[in-house]
Amino acid sequence: MRRVLQYAWFIFVMRATGFLPDFTFIMRMRGWLLRPCFRRCGRNFQICSHAMIVYTSNVEIGDDVYIAYGSWIQGYGGVRLDDEVMLGPYTILASSNHTRVGGSFRFGVGDARPIVLERGSWTGGHVVVTAGVTIGRGSACAAGAVVTRDVPPDTIVGGVPARPLGPAADASGGALDRAPPP
């Protein structure tokens, strides 16, 4: 019953605030109102309009998390967004896959496995992350990527299926895996 109430509150808040512009203040207010919906929710949670999260009771959100417009998160298998995670527009996190029974996927039981986005990771627009994937600390997923395997820390991945494109760079443009200058 609690899960139903949490989900109902999520739907109510998103519909009641969906007409408001996605200014920082509004996104923070929306995130604050949604805190009771999740297993855990940190401070400064920002969520844009038209985002959808199902099975909210299986979702953990860290501090300073941002979820962009139109993102869809399926929490059935569990989803953890660590501190400073950003989801780009229309990101999909699907924590359950269909299974086949009698030659059909229609009535197969879901194969649920958790998705974890570690501290400081980022998904570009239209990224799909499948069940059981961990995206490492400080990693980025290029727009349109379909992430089917774990992503090592400080790596940029892209493509379908996603493959490493190189090390993530810091603000000065230098690769993170290089030694700092003397």
Q: Nearest to residue 156, comparing CAs of 167, 147, 145?
A: 167
Annotated active-site residue 98? The verdict is yes
Dump pLDDT digits (tens) for 105-141: 888 888 999 999 999 999 999 999 999 999 999 999 9
Under a CB-based contact definition with an 8 Å cutoff, are residues 51 and 70 in contact? yes
Dump pLDDT digits (tens) for 66-85: 999 999 999 999 999 999 99
Q: Nearest to residue 145, comparing CAs of 166, 132, 164, 131?
A: 164
Q: State the residue for tokens 């309009």.
A: 49
Residue 168 reports pLDDT greater than 90:
no
Span 41-52, average pLDDT: 96
At residue 7, φ and ψ (nearest 5 deg) are -70, -40
Sign of CA dihedral 92, 144, 148, 116: negative
Q: Nearest to residue 80, comparing CAs of 58, 53, 113?
A: 58
**Cα 137 from Cα 150, distance rounded (Å):** 11
Residue 59 reports pLDDT greater than 70:
yes
CATH level 3 topology of 2-99+107-163: UDP N-Acetylglucosamine Acyltransferase; domain 1 (2.160.10)
Name the residue ranges covered by the structural domains of the chain. Answer: 2-99+107-163
Q: Which of 15, 98, 100, 149 is catalytic?
A: 98
